[in-house]
Structure 1
Amino acid sequence: MSQIRIAVIVGSLRKESINKKLALAVSGMFADRFALQRVEISGLPLYNQDFDGDFPAPGLHFKQQVEAADALLFVTPEYNRSIPGVLKNAIDVGSRPSGSNSFGGKPAAVIGTSPGARGTALAQQHLRNVLVGLDVLAMPQPEVTVQYQEGLIDGEGRIDNERTQKFLQRFVDGYSTWLIRTLGA
């Protein structure tokens, strides 16, 4: 395997999303052996079992992007102590119709940032519970919950805090090592 392809799925639609900034920052920390591609979820229709027989084009495109990846990186905000509805919808679209789960068998990591003191710990735990049901192997450690402060990460993905930079680099290094071992690459 020459490059390990990682699909990055951000569970926020907000233009200035701090989780989009986190995804951008982390994506720039991976070695050349990894190719990260952001998979957009904003155009997905709300999942409805009625269209299982004639799946909408945006849903099929999303599923194809997930299937083309070797691994997954979920970057999630925390809304009301859980994952955002748009992220759950993307997971539902990608795992349906029954028998065509695009996520199955893929290794994944889960990270996120929030202004709250706990970061996105509860949302990440909920997401891991959902992923287990989809046959996704979620990396257990290290967990990355970043308490976001204004200016921590700029729009270009640059991190203003050396401690945070090192913390995120440890995650990237750990995830990289885990992926190579898990994928046998």
Structure 2
Amino acid sequence: MSKTKVAVFVGSLRKDSINKKLAKAVEKLMPAGYEFEYVDIGELPLYNQDYDADYPAPYRRLKQQIEGADALLFVTPEYNRSVPGVLKNAIDIGSRPWGKNSFAGKPAAVIGASIGTIGTAIAQQHVRGSLAFVDAPTLAQPEVFIHFKEGLFDDEGNIGSDETRKFLQAFVGKYVDWVAKHRS
């Protein structure tokens, strides 16, 4: 059986991103047969409808990565109670030009970590709203709002808390089921 390719969108560009660490932790918990492909969204020019007639190379690359994936995972921080601009820009580019939405029908999930006590709850709601509009069916439960503390994850995705590992493993189980349901 072929591998299930997951396009991973990390909404933080920071070198030491806690959300990148969270993505790596989830990747380590995935069952055999799943492959994560991290989508580089940091170099994308801002979406401009003037480009719709002839998408620039970075836009085309993004759309090809989305179209080549079987599933999507959005791992977002929260900036000023909303989604980071770089992540929203990637969603806008992938869904355009009108009638050529690369996200349509791709099963998705949204998770995130923050040093704040409410995690990334509001940013995730904003991402979910955009994904609903671009027709990417998004896993509703469990919601993953991680309150990050030093040592919770390392750069390789090792999880420093048994409770967090169990919680994320339960998320992975639901996500895998969600992807399988929408692939069949």
Q: Counterpart of 2:143 in structure 1: which amino acid?
A: E
Q: Counterpart of 1:159 in structure 2: which amino acid?
A: I
Instruction: Compute the TM-score of the two structures, normalised by the length of structure 2.
Output: 0.97
Q: Distance in 2 between matches of 1:15 and 1:38?
A: 14
Partner of 2:29: helix, strand, or coil? coil
What displacement does 1:2 show? Answer: 2.7
What displacement does 1:150 show? Answer: 1.4
1:157 aligns with 2:157: yes
> How many residues get paired?
184
What displacement does 1:126 show? Answer: 1.0
What displacement does 1:82 show? Answer: 1.0
Q: Counterpart of 1:118 in structure 2: which amino acid?
A: I
Q: Distance in 1 between matches of 2:44 and 2:78?
A: 20
What displacement does 1:181 show? Answer: 2.0
Partner residue, 1:89: 89
Q: Distance in 2 between matches of 1:49 and 1:30?
A: 37
Partner residue, 1:44: 44
Q: Post-superposition, which runs of at least 4 consecutive aligned residues in structure 1 deviate over 2 A? A: none
Partner residue, 1:120: 120
1:22 aligns with 2:22: yes
Partner residue, 1:76: 76
Q: Distance in 2 between matches of 1:146 and 1:10?
A: 15
Q: Distance in 2 between matches of 1:50 and 1:61?
A: 18
Partner residue, 1:32: 32
Q: Distance in 2 between matches of 1:98 and 1:88?
A: 16
Q: Counterpart of 2:4 in structure 1: which amino acid?
A: I
Q: Distance in 1 between matches of 2:94 and 2:181?
A: 26
Partner of 1:42: helix, strand, or coil? coil
Q: Counterpart of 1:155 in structure 2: which amino acid?
A: D
Q: Distance in 2 between matches of 1:102 and 1:40?
A: 16
Say if 2:77 and 2:112, in contact at 8 Å, map to a contact too: yes
Instruction: Compute the TM-score of the two structures, normalised by the length of structure 1.
Output: 0.96
Q: Distance in 2 between matches of 1:88 and 1:179?
A: 23
Q: Mind listing any 5+ residue stretches in structure 2 that lack a counterpart?
A: none
Q: Counterpart of 1:151 in structure 2: which amino acid?
A: G
What displacement does 1:182 show? Answer: 2.4
Partner residue, 1:140: 140
TM-superposition CA deviations, 1:103-148 (whole Å, max 9, x none): 1111100000001111011111111111111011001111111000
Q: Mind listing any 5+ residue stretches in structure 1 that lack a counterpart?
A: none
Q: Which moved more, 1:172-181 or 1:132-141?
A: 172-181
Q: Distance in 1 between matches of 2:93 and 2:168?
A: 30
